[in-house]
Amino acid sequence: SSGINAEYGGLDYEDGLQNATVFCDENCDEGRTYVTHICSGSPSFDSGKFHNHCNACKLFGKCIGDYREAHCDMCGKHWFTGMSGFPCPCQGEDSDDGYYNNGGCLVI
């Protein structure tokens, strides 16, 4: 986690961003905001809902966006796990859901 945001800040996106630590006077509705994608060199303001930082990735980790994505310890990539905890496609059979690509995970 950085000093600016937690790995996933989206728990308060409908409650006034109470845990956001960046304060602003302009360009944000609640007077505070989250900043995401700092690690990729393309920082942007976010409600926190789509700020998800993977600390399992090398170096400083990686912003993976959607809070329903996860890191696969087997293939090292990210996939849409959803709210039900879908397994990484690299651990299952090929499917028609668009998440399996050439025997590995498709980063979405």
Q: 71 with 59: CB under 8 angstroms?
A: no
In whole angstroms, give the CA distance from residue 16 to residue 26. 15
The per-residue pLDDT for range 8-42, each reduced to its tens digit, is 566 677 777 877 888 888 777 778 888 888 878 88
* 39-70: pLDDT as tens digits: 788 888 888 777 778 888 888 778 887 778 88
Confidence class for position 87, pLDDT limits 50, 70, 90: very high
pTM of the model: 0.59
pLDDT band with cut points at 50, 70 and 90 for residue 75: very high
